[in-house]
Structure 1
């Protein structure tokens, strides 16, 4: 222990008091000092190795700190801290970088260091080799290997995940879709090909070209489905893919991809299939699935999920079956002439969102979206698409003299 440790008051750090023996514990118990915040505790620990109060310590002293206190830290954090020490070319460790790691935060400088130091992590210390994990821990580890391509990120996620908040968004959307389907199943007395019921499009939820001025329909159509097969495939895909993605990336990012996919789907239909209505959550589901699959392909060597080739093939088969059903239904004999059946173009709009905006959102799970230049490029392109589609819906129908089906 360096000499600087003797200058720190006993009651200035709970860690010092907890590691001390004899009279020092009695001094802490005899005072009325409240426990200090964790960051103050780490600063006290860091200051013992930084007697000059420069805010930096050498990598040699940093290693001494880890050797002396490594048993008190999470082993994964120790490993990442060592990677940080190995990656710092200037031979110094900043206090703020140390705090960022201990408080599960990542600054830009720290993130760059981890990107370099992470390459030096030993595969022998992989997260998948750990034993004695509980059921919930094994689930979190499984999700980490399903969605993250780098071992350092998997360990970071495994250590910091608290299930607070839980993955509520995708579950809530799925429950809402199932509830709406059951409601209309009872109302229409039809569970297969609900779309063939004359009353189906009279709901306030589906997108219909005659009612395109009702802006909420560009989103609300996702809660209506053509039949139980349509609902079942969409629910299966969004639960199997969406819930793990939300556990890793959070509701904000996954919600962004999902809503952008849904909106792009209805707008794409309003441009390319101008006389058709739209129902189903396929735009949002396909945005999530295509973004995830593209992320797996781009990081193929780093992804350690089991049977990844087989599972990718099964995902593509399910998407193809669902898309093929939508194409068949579009050209099926019209349920209520002259209105055509719902369009399949929303699927393609969702795929385009997933392959562009979705890939960027999922690529660096710990990096803030506002710090990614590529995110702003794709988001600007998406915004321009939405803006052009709005003007198209306002002016193109009358200019092209499109003959729309009657209002349901």
Structure 2
């Protein structure tokens, strides 16, 4: 029996008057005496939702939402009660899985802190849509870097080449009226070391996050980090250009690391403490390298070197907006007050940054380096 037939049967037999509610006893009897083609984890969640109802009835709308895998409050309640009613075996005990399913299981244990969440994701994952956003961004960044590397015949410290800074993709304060630069700078990189660091983190952390939380949420988080990075530089380091996707990368990494810390007991990824330390050391080293290049460049240059403030602002975006996105797996963000508070704060920052870029440079008399 498919889902549409089941929905029709439920409504006709158990809710003929269209009251919107179904008695728990009747629904349980229906499920037990009809063959359902549902994922095991979803079926267990349905029973958990049914048996946890204190009023002896099930809301028909919430039942449809849960079976349709929609992000809703019914999922949260089913998960909460499912922790008590689900079987105690874990995904790691399942044998005979194919390569893809083993990879999905690995991703579930890397990203999700709750066993019931992991089982839900494992059984409902169909790789549709595939995690293409982070892969496409990384491929474009590599192609752009290789093009400029061949053109300049230089693969490290490319920002010291005047032709590099003339690129229409680089954010430069002298070209801040060209608004696309506040976003397009993420495709340019200082050199091979920065590109390698960003590409590695985007693939190792960004792709699993996108597999679990979807392209819309992860692309929003990444782009918010990128935009916040360039706008923060235009406010705090007004003479400096910006290159690299570090704002978006640090938004992803800080959100994931914060989520791991806040759910430390539930995370089952191996060597999590060692990996946390290594991630923090690598991120701190990257920031330190950016600070060094900004204030103590190893070679003479014609103007200020790219700012490091995009790294820090990306981390702030990840801890604020990103942490909420990652903590609320399969729930509707639009229905949460905290989500709108963060969105309001981000929009307020955007408006302030726009007015700052329009008026502050002239009012403060900032001496901007000549635009390349």
TM-score of Structure 1 vs Structure 2, range by shorter chain: over 0.9
Higher relative contact order (CA 8 A, sep 6+): 2
Aligned match of 1:366: 330
Q: Unaligned 5+ residue runs, structure 1?
A: 1-14, 16-36
Task: Count the aligned residue pairs.
Answer: 372
CA deviation digits over 1:183-234, x for unaligned, max 9?
Answer: 0000000011111212110111111111111111111111100000010001
What is the TM-score of this pair, normalised by structure 2?
0.93
* Alpha-carbon distance between aligned partners in 2 of 1:399 and 1:106, rounded to the nearest angstrom: 48
* Alpha-carbon distance between aligned partners in 2 of 1:169 and 1:115, rounded to the nearest angstrom: 29
Aligned match of 2:178: 214
When structure 1 is superposed on structure 2, of 151-160 and 386-395 the one drifting more is 151-160
Q: 1:125 to 1:91 in 2, by over 3 A?
A: farther
Q: Unaligned 5+ residue runs, structure 2?
A: none
Aligned match of 2:219: 255
Q: 1:306 to 1:43 in 2, by over 3 A?
A: farther
Deviation at 1:51, TM superposition (A): 7.0
CA deviation digits over 1:259-300, x for unaligned, max 9?
Answer: 110111111111111111110000000001101111111122
What is the TM-score of this pair, normalised by structure 1?
0.86
Aligned match of 2:89: 125
Aligned match of 1:78: 43
* Alpha-carbon distance between aligned partners in 2 of 1:373 and 1:113, rounded to the nearest angstrom: 18
Q: 1:131 to 1:66 in 2, by over 3 A?
A: farther
**Is 1:349 aligned to 2:303, yes or no?**
no
Aligned match of 2:60: 95
CA deviation digits over 1:102-121, x for unaligned, max 9?
Answer: 3222443x234214313314
Aligned match of 1:136: 100
* Alpha-carbon distance between aligned partners in 1 of 2:150 and 2:37, rounded to the nearest angstrom: 59
- The one of 334, 338, 341 equivalent to 1:377 is 341
Q: 1:401 to 1:183 in 2, by over 3 A?
A: same
Aligned match of 1:331: 295
Q: Is the 8 A contact 1:334 1:340 kept in 2?
A: no
* Alpha-carbon distance between aligned partners in 2 of 1:380 and 1:50, rounded to the nearest angstrom: 42
Q: Is the 8 A contact 1:88 1:113 kept in 2?
A: no
CA deviation digits over 1:62-84, x for unaligned, max 9?
Answer: 33333323675432122212211
Deviation at 1:46, TM superposition (A): 6.3
Q: Is the 8 A contact 1:121 1:152 kept in 2?
A: no
- Aligned-residue Cα RMSD (Å) equals 2.0
